[in-house]
Every structure is written in C-alpha cells, then in structure tokens.
Structure 1
Amino acid sequence: MSGATAVTPRSRKAERGAPVDAAHRPSHRRAMRRNFLTALLFLSPWVIGFLVFTLWPLLYSAYLSFTDYDVINDPQFVGFENYATLLSDPKVALALANTFFFTLVQIPLYVAVSLTLALLLNRAGRASGFFRTVFFLPKMTPPVAIGILFLLLFNGQNGLINTVLGWFGIDGPSWTTDPAWVKPGLIMMSLWTVGASIIILLAALQNVPEELYESARLDGAGFWRQSFSVTMPMISPAIFFIVIVNTIAGLQTFDEAYTAFFGSGNTTYSNDAALFYVIYLFQQAFEFLHMGYASAMAWLLFLIIMVVTGIQLIVSRRLVYYEGEAAK
C-alpha cells in the first residue's frame, strides 16, 4: 500500500513506551560488573603488593621522619628536629657532594660508552647477536661481586689495571686508598654494566628509517652531518630514557661502593671519599639505629630525585625529538 508506514519490532517497542534497549541493559550491566571483578582479581596481587610493600612503608617512613626511633623503644615525636639536623650534619653534605660528583661524571661517560658500542654493534651484521649477549652478560653480575672485583682489579700494588699500566711505563695510582682516585675508580667500574643501555640504543638505531639517511646523502651530508642531523635526533628519546634511569640509579649508588669500602672491614684508611648518600643513610638506620633520622634522609633524597628529574624533563622539551608529536 502506498503511503503506509512499515511496522517493525523496534517501532512496536517504541509505541508501547518502552526504551529500545531496556531489555538489554541489565545483562549489559552484569557483563560490565563481571568484567570489572575479573580485572580486579587479576590486578589484586599487584594492588596488594603495592599497598603492603610500597605505599605503607612510604607513609610509615614519612611518619618516622618526625620521630626519634631506635627500633627497640617506641617512636617519640620530635617534629622537624631530624630535618633541622640534616642541614647541620657535615656527613650529609659530604655524602651529597660525593654522590653528585659520581653522578655528574658517570652519566656522560656511561652514555658515551653505551652509544659507541651500540654504533659498532649496528654495523656488526650477523655477529651482532653474539656481541649483544657478550655485552649484556656483565649486567647480570651481582653488585656485591662487582664490588669485590673492583678491589681485585684496582688494587694499587698488584691489581690488573695497574699491571697493564705498568706495561706502558705508567705508574698507576692507589685506586682504593688514595681519596683523589677512589671515585674515579668507582666511576670506571660502573661502566662494567653498560650492557642494558647498549641493547636499548641498538634497538633505537635499528629503528631509524633508512630513507632519512638516503635523503641526507642526496643533500650531500657526510657521516658526521648524518650523525648529528639524523641519528642523534631519532634516538634522542632512548638516550633521554637512559639518562633519566641512570641519574636516579647514580643518586642511589650503594652496593659496589659499600662492598668495596665498608663491607670488607677495612679500617686502615678513611672511607669518606666513598661515602655516598645512601651508604650514610644505611649506616644511620642499621648501624646506629637512628631510624627516624634515616627516614628524614630518605625523604630528602626522594625530593632531590624529584627535582632533578623534573629539571631533566623540562630540558628534554628542547632536546628530545618525538616523531609522533612532530607528525601532529
């Protein structure tokens, strides 16, 4: 019939005044609730672990930083006394100076060595798989073993480093006893674990589009021009990631230095040159049982890391190139 309106099941529901999808809403809500509970079940191990092993210790340490607590007796509230002591403690200033010196010198060397080896691996062809494994294996060495290895390699009398230097007529320094050479030796030893950074940078190098190099060569760009105009901008996010991670790790340096200079029981010379901030924090907490003071030190380190990371993020806006953002 011309002019007649077709009647469908959907229109019949509308004529009765019932919503079109009303019959499906309860089942849809049950499905969403079931999916939410399932997701929560799978997330629960992480949530419980975060609450018990991260959030609770974080909050409790914040409370302890305002107390005098020695583990044996109950915490006694002292207000900001621990934080005031931090400002007048010469050991805190010394430990911070050692830590900042170590970090500021170690990070550029760490990135330079990692990038150099990654560039070499990028040209190694099929052999790159073998060398990736070789470079990464030292990363799996326990930090305590690295500390002991430091004492063996950098021993001033019969260490391997000074022995090799002696072959070239160079009288090597006393790496482990001369305060002027303790931190340089530890910095050199930290380069033992560049393997993970090499893998990250190698992956970034292999993801640089070949078309960019072809365009640069057509424009007459040589090796160095291609490196600074193509390679470095394209891998800058990977370099920035390595800088951020290793800056945080440098500010928390503990294992190797403690094993080499504090855990060996050697008291024949001063260890102040190797007294990093986290080592002094550890001493206050577990040797002197000044848990409240150690908690205040931990929160100071947390604030320092936050500030340093924030500055790096601000600087990265000008130095780091993100291809996705450029496409927008």
Structure 2
Amino acid sequence: MSNFTEAVLAARRKGGRGGRPASPMQRREARWGYAFISPWIIGFILFWAVPIGASLVFSTLDFQLTDPGATTFAGGSNWERALSDPDTWTALAATFRFTVLFLPLSLVVALGLALLLNSKHLKFTGLFRLLFFMPSMIPLVAGILIWQQVLNPQTGWVNRLIGLSGVDATGSDGIRWFDNPVLVLFAFSFIGLWGIGNSMIVNLAGLQGIPTELYEAAAIDGAGWWRRLGSITLPLLSPVMFYNLVIGSVLVLQYFVVPWVLFGASGRPGGASKFLLVHFYQEAFVFGNMGYGAALAWLIFIVVAILTGLLFGTARYWVHYGTERS
C-alpha cells in the first residue's frame, strides 16, 4: 500500500482533514452550511429527482390519465412502440432538420452581433446592446403572435419588403412562410434569432475578457482584423462558444412553444412542425398516454445526452482554456 493511500485512510479514521479531527467550530460551520443549502436539496429531491424516477417507472406501465385505476405493467412495450412508431421518427427528423439549420445560424449571428457591439468604432453601443437584448425579455407567446403577423403572406412587412425587389411576394402565389415545409423552418429561425440576446451578451462578456495587450501586440506585428480574429479572438473565446453550443443544442432539441402555438399537434405543413417535444406532449397530455409519453420523454433525454456527450468528446480538439499548457 502506498504512503498516499495510508495517509488518506488514516485521515478518514480520524474523521478530520489532513489527519486532524474537526474542531467544534468546523462542525458547527458544516451544520450551518447544510442548513443553508437544505432548501435547494429538498427542492431538487421533490421537484427533480422524484419526478425523474417516477417517469422512468411510468415508462414501464400502461398508464392512462383518464383511467389511472386500470394501470397495468407493460414492461418494455412502451419503448418498443416509441422506437417503431413512424410519428417518432418523423418528429426526430423534423427536430434534426431544424437543429442543423438554426443552431449554426444562431451561433454565428450571436457572435457577429457581439463582435460588432464590442467595436470601439461604433457609437451608442449601450443603446444597441439594449435594443438587441430587449426581444429576449418579451413573453415568448406574445413574440410568436407578433411574428405570425410579420410573416403574413398578404400584409406582413417581410413579404412587402421582398416585393420591393419585383418579386410577387404578397399575391396569391406569394411567399407563404407557414404553408411550406421548407420555408416554415426559416420562419422558426427568424423567430428564434429575434431572441438571441442572451447568447449575444454571453459572447460579449467573453470578448471583453480577452486581454487587449494581445491585440496591440498583433497589430504591431502587422496582423489584420481577420488574422486577429482567427488567431486571438476565436481561440480565447472558444470556451464561451462551447457553452453557447451546448446550451443551444439542448434547447433546440426541446423546441416546443413556437410550433405548438402556431400549429398545435397537427404537424403542418407536411410534418415539418411536429418536433420531438410536440409529439411527446400530444401523446402524454392530449391523448393521456402517460406511460408511452414517459418513454418518449426518456427517449428525448437519451438523444440530448448522446449529442451533449459527443460535443464534450470533441471539445478537447478545439476548445482552449487560458490555463492550459502544451
């Protein structure tokens, strides 16, 4: 047994840190610490751990909200149904199509706005930061209804602006954003980009944390703006970009409110708005198939966990931290 292992075991036997028993003051401070965090622990157990465990149990039951007394054990049938249901794969495909379109777009736009607002040559940057952040403070349902009118085929100002270029965007054959399976994804993206103020602020905070001495040294060496962006800004901002990527991936895979407010569970147009969470909500709370809905919820969790694990697995190749050493 190594000396280090023997020291650890001795410390554990003495019940203290570094081989010394805990003093009465340390024990009192520990009790107060547990007392202060106990509300969070209780809340986590009651509102997170218990529901998560209950949903796993429900996924093995044939449980109907309308007739809970007739609940029977279903084993893995709910999981088999979730994997064989064509609606599940349609919802998964719709979710990933939107993810591939919106996630890179939102990351690039949020970073671009942050770079713009971090510029020393732009005036009234405080006002612009406020204006770009304000849409994220508007209730989401209200914002969706606003965008529903903005993208109206006949009266929406987006189609009217497109019509100024000579394209018939407002006529009978005009651009119908919510009736086309491809265009509706762009409509969802417009609504999502309207609320990227949080990501922009996070990027802006990361940019302002980069030492200005690095840019000054690079400018002296003759590095242009693009060279400074690729060699200084993006590498040092990569932890912030990674954070936005992970959070954005989790949120977009749980995309629900916008398609539900606009289309409900219909999936219009052509199943493009039937995302995974919409499918889950329809089965669990509209049809009352709580057991099947619980299996779908765990399927969503597994998809999110796999994607998040892949992101963390690739992070070591492109995320750079200031404390790292080669």
CA distance in 2 between counterparts of 1:81 and 1:108 reads: 37
Alpha-carbon distance, 1:32 to partner = 2.4
Alpha-carbon distance, 1:270 to partner = 4.7
Listed as ranges, the matches of 1:194-213 within 5 Å are 194-213=196-215
* Counterpart residue number, 1:88: 84
Q: Say whether residues 1:73 and 2:68 are aligned partners.
A: yes
Count of paired positions: 299
CA distance in 1 between counterparts of 2:253 and 2:107 reads: 16
Once the two structures are superposed, what CA deviation does each residue of 1:18-67 show, in whole Å capped at 9, x if it has no partner? xxxxxxx99x6432222122111111110111000000000000000011
One-letter amino acid of the counterpart of residue 152, structure 2: N
**Could you say what secondary structure the match of 1:273 adopts?**
coil
CA distance in 2 between counterparts of 1:95 and 1:268 reads: 9
Across the aligned residues of Structure 1 and Structure 2, the Cα RMSD in angstroms comes to 1.9
Listed as ranges, the matches of 1:64-213 within 5 Å are 64-71=58-65, 72-74=67-69, 75-124=71-120, 127-172=124-169, 173-213=175-215
Based on CA coordinates, which of the two structures has the bigger radius of gyration?
Answer: 1
One-letter amino acid of the counterpart of residue 222, structure 2: G
CA distance in 2 between counterparts of 1:104 and 1:52 reads: 36
- Do the aligned partners of 2:111 and 2:203 also contact (CA within 8 Å) in 1? yes
Alpha-carbon distance, 1:158 to partner = 1.7
CA distance in 1 between counterparts of 2:211 and 2:78 reads: 54
Q: Say whether residues 1:30 and 2:24 are aligned partners.
A: yes
CA distance in 1 between counterparts of 2:195 and 2:33 reads: 38
Alpha-carbon distance, 1:127 to partner = 2.4
Once the two structures are superposed, what CA deviation does each residue of 1:102-144 show, in whole Å capped at 9, x if it has no partner? 1111111101111111111011566222222211111112221
**Structure 1's 284 and 31: CA in aligned 2 closer, same or farther, altered over 3 A?**
same
* Counterpart residue number, 1:238: 240
% identical aligned pairs: 37
CA distance in 1 between counterparts of 2:267 and 2:57 reads: 38
Listed as ranges, the matches of 1:262-281 within 5 Å are 262=264, 270=269, 272-281=271-280
CA distance in 2 between counterparts of 1:76 and 1:146 reads: 43
Alpha-carbon distance, 1:268 to partner = 12
- Do the aligned partners of 1:152 and 1:159 also contact (CA within 8 Å) in 2? yes
- Do the aligned partners of 2:111 and 2:200 also contact (CA within 8 Å) in 1? yes
**Structure 1's 200 and 269: CA in aligned 2 closer, same or farther, altered over 3 A?**
closer
**Structure 1's 203 and 270: CA in aligned 2 closer, same or farther, altered over 3 A?**
closer
One-letter amino acid of the counterpart of residue 312, structure 1: L
One-letter amino acid of the counterpart of residue 122, structure 1: N
Q: Say whether residues 1:283 and 2:285 are aligned partners.
A: no
CA distance in 2 between counterparts of 1:130 and 1:160 reads: 25
Which segment drifts farther, 243-252 or 32-41?
Answer: 32-41
**Could you say what secondary structure the match of 1:70 adopts?**
coil
CA distance in 1 between counterparts of 2:270 and 2:152 reads: 15
**Could you say what secondary structure the match of 1:84 adopts?**
helix
Query: Any gaps of 5 or more consecutive residues in structure 2?
Result: 1-19, 170-174
Which segment drifts farther, 30-39 or 230-239?
Answer: 30-39
One-letter amino acid of the counterpart of residue 165, structure 2: F
Query: Any gaps of 5 or more consecutive residues in structure 1?
Result: 1-24
Alpha-carbon distance, 1:238 to partner = 0.8
- Do the aligned partners of 1:261 and 1:271 also contact (CA within 8 Å) in 2? no
Alpha-carbon distance, 1:271 to partner = 6.1
Alpha-carbon distance, 1:284 to partner = 0.5
